Amino acid sequence: MDAIRTEALTKHFTVGFWRPRPYLALEALTLQIGHGEVFGFLGPNGAGKTTTLKLLMQLIYPTSGHAEILGRPVGDVEVKRRIGYLPENPYFYDYLTAEELLEYFSALFGHSAAERRRRASALLDEVGIGAERRLQLRKFSKGMLQRVGIAQALINDPEVVFFDEPMSGLDPLGRRHIRELILRLRDRGCTVFFSSHVLSDAEALCSRVAILANGRLVSQGALSEILAVTIRGWELVVSGLTETALAHAQSSAGIRGATRLGPERYALELPMTVPPEHLLAKLVAAGATLVSLNPLHDTLEDFFVRQVAAAPEERGLESTRG
């Protein structure tokens, strides 16, 4: 049984008052996400990421298709007991303190008063909210609200968490903090589904990603597979290489580029078509020493840009999606 499963999930909105027209927000999204995965849901602004998350939270209803979480239909109260959700740019009751908000949400899960206090306190510690926890939320900055939002998503110790742009509004320290938190959740066996347009977050955290553009899924798979198929060459770092030996090698071995790293120390880039063993043997014979040999992958950003650029654009009308 998958932790999250969608089958041809589709959402059309109606736009226009006098002449209502359908607008494609999400088209036939099919995903399977296993237990314990950290799954990155990527796409540019307006790709349909937030629409997908709202469908999974049943904040909006699908035009067609089906979605399940933990083997049950989305919106089922038993499912809600076992999941957590951080909305994009979260807003909570500004007349409550952070502590009160968490205790209120904890009460909705049926926790006792002592348990509510314990969970609220532990989670606010975990997301780095200190003495401010007794201030009303109207006095909180965007980053602090984001931390409270993450804490409330974890109030029930969920099996699956959905984070919509979890790094939004956070400073570098906060981002690092939340990355570590996501990794801790993964280590506890929690499935994490997060949407982002910040690719470095996905690259650092995800085991698998899906890329969405213009409401359509353009690619999905393990990060290692996606990037492995796009090895674009080799990087060879050597020391003890004289300029003469380098010039000789460049003229004969098809080296695409050489970067001087220090005295007689170079990083050489070879195209995928040239096996590195032959050049390496030549360089060693010329007195050079191998420091490292690595395949050159595309970054997720390279891959993302290519996929999004290739996605079909026609989808109806102007954007209303998140």
- Residues in contact with other proteins by the rule CB under 8 A: 13, 54, 57-61, 77-78, 80-81, 83, 85, 87, 89-93, 95-96, 104-105, 107-110, 149, 152, 320
Least distance from C-beta 1 to other proteins, angstroms? 20
Of 80 and 147, which CB lies nearer to other proteins in the complex structure? 80
Output 69 or 268, the one with its CB closest to other proteins.
Answer: 69
Q: Give the nearer residue to other proteins in terms of CB position, either 59 or 291.
A: 59
- Which residue, 25 or 170, has its beta carbon nearer to other proteins? 25
- DSSP states along 160-206: EEEEESTTTT--HHHHHHHHHHHHHHHHTT-EEEEEES-HHHHHHH-
As measured in angstroms, the least distance from the Cβ of 230 to other proteins is 37
- Residue 183, token pair as written in the block: 């990794």
Shortest CB 19 distance to other proteins, Å:
19
Its sign, for the CA torsion 288, 290, 295, 300, is negative
94 vs 301, which CB is nearer to other proteins?
Answer: 94
> Closest approach of Cβ 32 to other proteins, in Å?
22
Shortest distance (Å) from residue 56 CB to other proteins: 10
Whichever of 58 and 200 has its CB closer to other proteins, that residue is: 58
Distance, CA of 237 to CA of 259 (rounded, Å) = 9
Q: What is the DSSP letter of 100?
A: H
- Greatest CA span in the chain, whole angstroms? 79
Amino acid at 110: G
Q: Read off the DSSP letter of residue 270.
A: E
CB of 288 to other proteins, least distance (A): 60
Q: Which is nearer to other proteins, 59 or 258 (CB)?
A: 59
**Secondary structure (DSSP) of 84-119:** EEE-SS----TTSBHHHHHHHHHHHTT--HHHHHHH
Strands 289-296 and 233-239: antiparallel
Report the alpha-carbon distance of residue 98 to residue 137 in Å, rounded. 6
DSSP H or E stretch at residue 55:
helix 49-56
The nearest distance, CB 60 to other proteins, in angstroms, is 4
Residue with tokens 């949407």: 195
Tell the smallest beta-carbon distance from residue 253 to other proteins (Å). Answer: 58
Residue 97, C-beta contacts closer than 8 angstroms, at least 6 positions apart? 133, 134, 135, 136, 137
* Signed CA dihedral, 155, 159, 162, 167: sign only: positive
92/266 with CB nearer other proteins:
92
